[in-house]
Structure 1
């Protein structure tokens, strides 16, 4: 087993001719901030993910700056600066649509000022005690994110061994993993996300406590977990993220009913469908095409919905009522962990509830379904279901034709018997004529 990274590693300076970072790959706005801080006599460093990505030959989207100047001193230097945050006091320097985040070096210890506060479980509630660059490095999460590019001499400063870890593509937690995960349980999800994004392995000492500490995620804010889910699954590495969540025991903590449904699905059909959907999500993002969080969560929670629906039908609940109850129950249980907003949960449920309507191809129903606002999303979902079962082939063929040539599809649908005729035939009798329709209750969709 790899030994945990020590609290203090020997500081190392990698000169300009021994690393691949070039100023031409750094945002001009970030360079302006770095140079002005340096000219004013402050330490000025590009830090974190930008340095890591530049070393890997990637193109960072965000450029963060670290300095020994306080937020107030930064604001004094830049007219286009605003101070934000109470838990972490930060300066944002604004250039049009680009924001350069400037953070003051922070210390890990409490200086008695009351600007650092943790709860009884060790989670950080407030952290505005300032320190040195060495202090700042060891309080960061992973060694790969604790690298500093100095504008003074264009060197890279490494205080935790991160330069070699980036070269070896290893994600390693700084400090004692147990303590660091307890400080912030969401750090476990961040480890999964970064490893999936960067195609890094997770250091054994950093990975070992995750299955044991996974239940701590239940104490995290559901709203924060929703944002983490979007980062996990809507950043172009959804399939890799899902597989790592499974491997490290975090799926059951994040989506317990989905994990239970996948474990009980012996054929593996639901898992095949889910992975195919995540691969399709990654492909859409790579092609710069939009992906709806509603469709994403319809996919992620579909195994839970199927399992709950089967349980309700086994209890004798009528099919349509069972569908509504299953949709509501799965949503209600999931939002207790991940705060899925109604603007996404309602369309998610519609996608599920429309699935049974694809097999109802009477003319009036075809017209109504084609006009349904969620039709296209529901149809795309039906295509994914073909991955789990080829029983949907006839429905897919009909509705594909209905979109290409609606008139022809409606003509075909007109030849099908009405629902009343089908009911009569099923009972071995004649059609009973017009039947009084039972008024449908609106679907109970809520949290």
Structure 2
């Protein structure tokens, strides 16, 4: 796949001991990126900025993906122009961000993200005004608006494979960090000292896993070495940011591989502590259920089918739920209220770690709630459940539980057949339930008719 990229250009097998002060330059005959593969809007942004006297390049993931002959998800631009200068060049531009100020240039539905070259910074920065980087006591960067040169920008990026700059005007690639050899060797390598870079932003550990899974790369050994020790730093990351990272991890089409890497590097527990505990207590069932859910997710993405984060999160959290439901039942709650109470507590606990929005937590609870309702099929209940808008998700979740080895007494097969047969056969299936041990739902207690109290005891007046 990368034959053209390397057939006329030789690279050192090992990285230089010090950062490069001049880039390795690949001409148009030395790489496989074609100008026509770049978004026309991104090319236009680069050309206009260059004509205005600024440096500008397509950068990052789009260059990496094109070298790997993958379709880029989006196109980013890096420039020497400040955000205000970029906005002055484009009427359709808007400055966003606080921790990292960017410009979004809008072209209908496409947004070209433009970032000013940033400079590196050490953990001992003393000055902390609006133009400097601010650090948390752990080393995490709180603000990152230190502008610099193109070389500075390359050295402060996270991974070598994301620090490649493509000029669509000259069709050259600039490589300051030996990113092209790392693409050849299929390695995810941090730029700079791995420990310091992870401390600056612990989310880089998740990004390393995401790129390794997505691209089928390995994490370079020095970049991998500190991850297990530093994994607890993820607890300091805002819960809202972690939710976005989790979606990227599991909705990129390589969710199963991502899960294995998260477990390998001890990164899963900081994200899903209750599920990690369930994995320790019941590894076979928990691991099988989660892996099957992730395999199903990857297959749906491969086929271009929609994937709802609610179903995926319901599967990731489910193994921690049954024990909590049992605790609620031991306190005297009936099965459905016990499920609802346990679900509320588990989701609230999870949201303190990953801020799952209400638009997802509500369907998660409904999917779980359906697991208590699906066994209750007597009378009109089965037909009412079929009409429930969450029935399909609840039914699919039931099949997922069964595929993980959970015993449900053939409940999945029953519901599968019930959806396929005519009304007459459905009535027969309902009648047959009462003949099966354990098939019938508990009968409601009938209330005794209230006796009418004598008028003399009613508290009323005779007047």
Give the TM-score of the pair, scaled to structure 2.
Answer: 0.86
Residue 63 of structure 2 is aligned to residue 51 of structure 1? yes
Q: What secondary structure sits across from 1:391 in the alignment? A: coil
1:126 offset after TM fit, Å? 1.8
Q: Equivalent residue for 1:293?
A: 309
Question: Deviation string for 1:52-84 (max 9, x for gaps)?
Answer: 001101110211111112222222222222222
1:203 offset after TM fit, Å? 0.8
Match of 1:416 among 402, 414, 433: 433
Q: Equivalent residue for 1:121?
A: 138
Question: Deviation string for 1:269-300 (max 9, x for gaps)?
Answer: 22112111111111111111111111111100
Q: Equivalent residue for 2:267?
A: 250
Residue 84 of structure 2 is aligned to residue 64 of structure 1? no
CA–CA separation in structure 1 for the residues paired with 2:32 and 2:77: 19
Q: Equivalent residue for 2:200?
A: 183
**CA distance 1:197–1:163, change in 2 (3 Å):** same
Aligned pairs (5 A) from 1:271-350: 271-312=287-328, 318-350=334-366
CA–CA separation in structure 2 for the residues paired with 1:126 and 1:5: 30
**CA distance 1:6–1:225, change in 2 (3 Å):** farther
CA–CA separation in structure 1 for the residues paired with 2:317 and 2:358: 15
Give the TM-score of the pair, scaled to structure 1.
Answer: 0.89
Q: Equivalent residue for 1:9?
A: 20
Moved more, 118-127 or 131-140: 118-127
Conserved 8 A contact 1:49-1:60: yes
Question: Deviation string for 1:118-175 (max 9, x for gaps)?
Answer: 2322222222221111100011000100111123421111111111001111000111
CA–CA separation in structure 2 for the residues paired with 1:436 and 1:73: 77
Conserved 8 A contact 2:96-2:102: yes
Moved more, 14-23 or 4-13: 4-13
Q: What secondary structure sits across from 1:60 in the alignment? A: coil
CA–CA separation in structure 2 for the residues paired with 1:329 and 1:83: 39
Q: What secondary structure sits across from 1:258 in the alignment? A: helix
CA–CA separation in structure 2 for the residues paired with 1:404 and 1:21: 52
Conserved 8 A contact 2:335-2:372: no
**CA distance 1:329–1:4, change in 2 (3 Å):** farther
Instruction: Give the structure, 1 or 2, with the largest relative contact order (CA under 8 Å, sep 6 or more).
Output: 1
1:88 offset after TM fit, Å? 1.9
1:390 offset after TM fit, Å? 6.2
Is there any run of 5+ residues in structure 1 with no aligned partner, and where? 438-447
Q: Equivalent residue for 1:381?
A: 397
1:186 offset after TM fit, Å? 1.2
Q: Equivalent residue for 1:102?
A: 114
Q: Equivalent residue for 2:413?
A: 397
Conserved 8 A contact 1:402-1:410: no
Question: Deviation string for 1:70-124 (max 9, x for gaps)?
Answer: 2222222222222222322222221111111111111114695641122322222
CA–CA separation in structure 1 for the residues paired with 2:143 and 2:106: 25
Q: Equivalent residue for 2:452?
A: none
Aligned pairs (5 A) from 1:103-252: 103-109=115-121, 114-116=130-132, 117-252=134-269
Is there any run of 5+ residues in structure 2 with no aligned partner, and where? 1-12, 449-463
Moved more, 222-231 or 148-157: 148-157
Conserved 8 A contact 1:44-1:152: no
